């Protein structure tokens, strides 16, 4: 019972942030974050529906949606790096391909493990990809936070909020 109350509070908070952001027209500057927030809200609503009415398929549904959650979360990492490096075009030109290469490397590694293993399991592959993406996101966030602190780069309140919000959801499972 308490878990369901917390779940509904989380959904209400996500909806509130989404509505406030739309009213403030922040989605124009931080599109990836608001797509991410919309996807997270939709996933939470779908998970609640599946758990309530189709509990027997909740576990595989959870892992498939976790993969989607992590994949869209990586787009937010790209957006954060883009915003932070906005005034440093040279560094941004280096960072962008690096971040895409890291994403492709994670996907290839998980695919290689899935194909090379004795038995392929969609749930296991999904869980491994989600775990690896979350780990990479956490490392990249730590890197950008360290760069911001070391070079004392001024960031706006909204960008700090996005970094804090994605850091909360990017911890490895």
Q: Check: CB of residue 129 under 8 Å from CB of residue 110.
A: yes
Burial label, 136 (beta-carbon count in 10 A; 0-12, 13-18, 19+):
buried
Tokens found for residue 167: 């850091």
Domain that includes residue 164, residue range: 2-169
**pTM over 0.85, yes/no:** no
The DSSP result for 47-95, as a single string, is: HHHHHHH-GGGHHHHHHHHHHHHHHHHHHHHHHHHHHHTTT-HHHHHHH
d(Cα 99, Cα 25) in Å, to the nearest integer?
Answer: 27
Q: For residue 49, what pLDDT is reported? A: 93
Distance CA 74, CA 141 (A): 10
If one counts the domains in the chain, the total is 1
Task: State the pLDDT at residue 173.
Answer: 45
**pLDDT of the chain, 173 residues: tens digit per residue:** 677 788 888 889 889 988 988 888 888 888 888 898 899 999 999 999 999 899 999 988 888 888 788 888 888 888 888 888 887 788 788 888 999 999 999 989 988 888 887 777 777 787 788 888 888 988 988 888 887 777 776 777 777 777 777 766 655 44
With CA atoms as reference, report the closest residue to 97 among 113, 85, 111: 85
Work out the number of other CB atoms within 10 angstroms of the CB of residue 166.
23
The pair of three-digit structure tokens given for residue 28, joined into one six-digit string? 């124009």
């Amino acid at each position: 019972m308490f878990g369901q109350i917390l779940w509904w509070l989380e959904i209400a908070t996500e909806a509130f942030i989404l509505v406030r952001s739309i009213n403030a027209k922040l989605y124009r500057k931080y599109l990836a974050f608001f797509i991410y927030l919309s996807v997270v809200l939709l996933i939470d609503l779908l998970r609640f529906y599946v758990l309530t009415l189709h509990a027997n398929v909740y576990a595989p549904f959870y892992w498939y949606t976790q993969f989607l959650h992590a994949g869209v979360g990586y787009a937010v990492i790209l957006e954060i790096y883009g915003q932070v490096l906005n005034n440093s075009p040279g560094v941004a030109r280096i960072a962008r391909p690096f971040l895409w290469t890291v994403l492709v490397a994670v996907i290839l590694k998980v695919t290689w493990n899935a194909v090379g293993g004795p038995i392929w399991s969609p749930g296991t592959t999904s869980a491994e990809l989600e775990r690896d993406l979350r780990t990479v996101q956490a490392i990249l966030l730590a890197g950008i936070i360290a760069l911001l602190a070391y070079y004392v780069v001024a960031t706006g309140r909204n960008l700090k909020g996005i970094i804090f919000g994605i850091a909360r959801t990017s911890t490895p499972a």
